[in-house]
Structure 1
Amino acid sequence: MRESWLNTGRDVYTERDRELVGVGHAAEARSFFLGHPDYRPTPLRALPALARRAGVASILLKDESARMGLGSFKALGGMYAVARLVMAETEERYGLGPTEEQLRVVAARTPFVCASAGNHGLSMAAGARALGAGAIVLLAEDVPEEFARRLRSFGARVRRSGSTYEESMATALEAAARHGWRLVSDSSWEGYTAVPLDIMRGYTVLFEEVNWAGRSGKSGGPGALGGGPGDVGGWSGEPPTHVFVQAGVGGLAGAAAGYVRDRWGERPRIVVVEPEAAPCLLASVRAGEPVRVEGGRTTLGRLDCREPSLLAWRLLSRLADAFVTVTDEEAEGAARLLVTEEVRISACGAAGAAGLLSLGPAARTALDLGAGSRVLLVGTEEAF
């Protein structure tokens, strides 16, 4: 059943939140990617037709479908976390300022392993390959074979395990402990937060690009993949009044909340969008603690997560304004609408837009969403 939940635990951004995710971390992560040969800022697309349909002043969509040749925002997370993990291990062994050869020696020590619905595994595999390391990716049985093929093209060893992401995650965790492999999970739990925190900090790069575009009047910054239909060009740079961001375990949504509050303050309303069959963040915020949800299946495979990331829950339970769920059909319909504005992303990538369109009058009033609103969406992955 579709739901909307206004966050009664909403609180102000604090220095403790800033220590986790903020603009300083975004700048540091972007500095890393500026040295990567495949890095280009992704386009910020203006969507006037969707804005008219939603009854708002403007909608901008950060189009992640061509991110670093990997096809999703997750390219920013796993790759950054692998590099940070190797750097930390190398400095512990050799001291500050290690050489490229020393980094590669440490990277090759043992493989990296993760569970994935596809995109996170691609990012981790690309990061491992860049350093000459091995990668092992656990996929649930229903993850499309296309992801397995692409993972192998990056040199990853692919194994099928379990019928859900959570079952694949349990296998990855057990394998890492048994073999001494390095786990790179985009979820977090008690005792495991350092790597997923770096992943979230990597995601903030896309929001830093949005801010840069506002300052410069250019979509995304130097070398942007802009210039296509709907590319915003001279965006005025006014902060968004509303940010709709979809969530699986919540890493991207948590990154958005931390960055938005640090950069643009308390005014922007942050709305987290989940599949109606897997609303783990909504249920956890309502319960006041992380909980596992049961229920039906969803075709929104990269959002089909039953337990939230601990770090994401801690941020979102305080910093998000509302949580809404959408049906698979609503997300698919939103993806079709975006095609009419020449934006081609998957239904998962269009879930934020679906959340915006799904809000009824009472929720719109509670969120002060109306004719003067400026909405930011994230088109998280390419259509396939």
Structure 2
Amino acid sequence: MINVSANSFFNAQSSKLFTQDIAAQAQSFHQKIEGYTPTPLISLPVLAKSLGLKNILAKDESHRFGLNAFKVLGGSYALGQLLAEKLNMSLSDIDLKTVASKFDSPMVFTTATAGNHGTGVAWAAREMGQKAVVYMPKGAAQTSVERIRGLGAECIVTDVNYDDTVRLANQTAQENNWELVQDTAWDGYEQIPTWISQGYMTMAAEALTQLDGIKPTHLLLQAGVGAMAGGVLGYYADALGADNITSVIVEPENVACIYLSGTSADGEVKAVSGELNSIMTGLACGEPNPVTWPILKNCSKYFVSVGDNVTATGMRVLANPLPGDQAIISGESGAITLGLLYALAQSETGKAQAKELGLNEESVVLIFSTEGDINPASYQNIVWNGQYPL
């Protein structure tokens, strides 16, 4: 099932929170981290032609700091800002190799995660000589739990869904005087989620440089709470102008809180409750981030929700390229946008929806494969064994 809805609230208004200048500051911070290198932007012209497009350009975040996902960009930037704030220093003056020596005892950072964000926070805390306590919702993949613990963090799996796990992490942080580093926001908790979304702009800035003057016609972004989608879309709205690119926000149909908000009568934030089931665990979030919702509301041209079989198909297509294209290992939350492009070309209904989105032989589509095979067993079942066929 693919649901497509035009955004009636679109007004192309950019945000002062997400600008090229702020992105440059975030990228400068990331460049100081040992092992930093821009992730590749991979061209898939043969696949694009087979789908009736001019080109598909995929930013492959499986190479980010050896962590197999993009999330560390947000967590590390937020931790850097928090450390600078505690030390009353400028972020640009923070030396990541020596900052721990300036504290009598390590700071403790805590967060709730479906996997990638917690991995990023745990890694960043370790790199900066601090501590991390990570909470995961019920059903969390054991591989993610072990990866987080392997980075020196404490990892606790709860018996509640993601949004309730966020509330538990917040409560525990307050009780223990820890710093909550969460990638969604609520009244009274906006600054850290803003820093996290700003950190994600590094990959958007990298991609714009790698495009080398090529102007994408379409920007497809996946969303959970919308933290990444908001930061990246905000950057391109400032750098290119929201009127000059067709931006599409794509979500799992069972947890499509951005789609629900964007198709509501008043355009206000709407939540999805319940089990929040999807194989796209990184996107299985029921409550939009109010920090990034305004930029999604103002600058997204379409909202789309899809079934799990769409992203599963995207994983298989990326892993098995046509001759002349490069393979990309993309996980469940990473392949949703490519899966959408492929699925639209497979039926008359899909082709009509592609036409509504303005996709044609002149389209240059920019997507972000935000994770690799973070759950190897699940990846193998989907790509090798054909789980969730289209």
TM-score (normalised: structure 2): 0.87
Show the counterpart of 1:10.
Answer: 10
Q: Which runs of 5+ in 1 are unaligned?
A: 216-236
Show the counterpart of 2:159.
Answer: 162
- Of residues 277, 283, 290, the one that matches 1:310 is 290
The structure-2 alpha-carbon separation of the partners of 1:9 and 1:259, relative to structure 1 and needing over 3 Å to count, comes to same
* Identity percentage of aligned residues: 33
| Cα shift at 1:191 | 1.3
Instruction: Give a deviation string over 1:174-233, Cα, whole Å, max 9, x none.
Output: 001111110000111121111111111111111111111133xxxxxxxxxxxxxxxxxx
Show the counterpart of 1:271.
Answer: 248
- Of residues 294, 313, 317, the one that matches 1:337 is 317
Q: Which runs of 5+ in 2 are unaligned?
A: 322-326, 345-349, 377-390
The structure-2 alpha-carbon separation of the partners of 1:98 and 1:349, relative to structure 1 and needing over 3 Å to count, comes to closer
Instruction: Give a deviation string over 1:107-150, Cα, whole Å, max 9, x none.
Output: 94531000001110111111111221110000112110111111
| Cα shift at 1:13 | 2.6
The structure-2 alpha-carbon separation of the partners of 1:102 and 1:45, relative to structure 1 and needing over 3 Å to count, comes to closer
Q: Distance in 2 between matches of 1:335 and 1:107?
A: 47
The one-letter amino acid of 1:13's match is Q
- Of residues 251, 272, 277, the one that matches 2:227 is 251
Is 1:193 matched up with 2:215? no
The one-letter amino acid of 1:280's match is C
The structure-2 alpha-carbon separation of the partners of 1:98 and 1:294, relative to structure 1 and needing over 3 Å to count, comes to closer
The structure-2 alpha-carbon separation of the partners of 1:313 and 1:146, relative to structure 1 and needing over 3 Å to count, comes to same
CA contact (8 A) 2:281 2:332 kept: no
Instruction: Give a deviation string over 1:61-111, Cα, whole Å, max 9, x none.
Output: 00001110111010211011111111111117x999577756544494531
Q: Distance in 2 between matches of 1:129 and 1:95?
A: 18
User: 1:127-276 alignment to 2 at 5 Å?
Assistant: 127-215=124-212, 237-265=213-241, 266-276=243-253
When structure 1 is superposed on structure 2, of 152-161 and 98-107 the one drifting more is 98-107
The one-letter amino acid of 2:217's match is T
| Cα shift at 1:28 | 0.7
- Of residues 118, 121, 139, the one that matches 1:121 is 118
TM-score (normalised: structure 1): 0.89
Q: Distance in 1 between matches of 2:143 and 2:250?
A: 26
CA contact (8 A) 2:319 2:328 kept: yes
| Cα shift at 1:308 | 0.8
SS of 1:113's equivalent in the other structure is strand
RMSD: 2.0
Show the counterpart of 2:272.
Answer: 293
Show the counterpart of 2:70.
Answer: 73
User: 1:330-369 alignment to 2 at 5 Å?
Assistant: 330-341=310-321, 342-359=327-344, 360-369=350-359
Show the counterpart of 1:88.
Answer: 85
Q: Distance in 2 between matches of 1:27 and 1:3?
A: 36
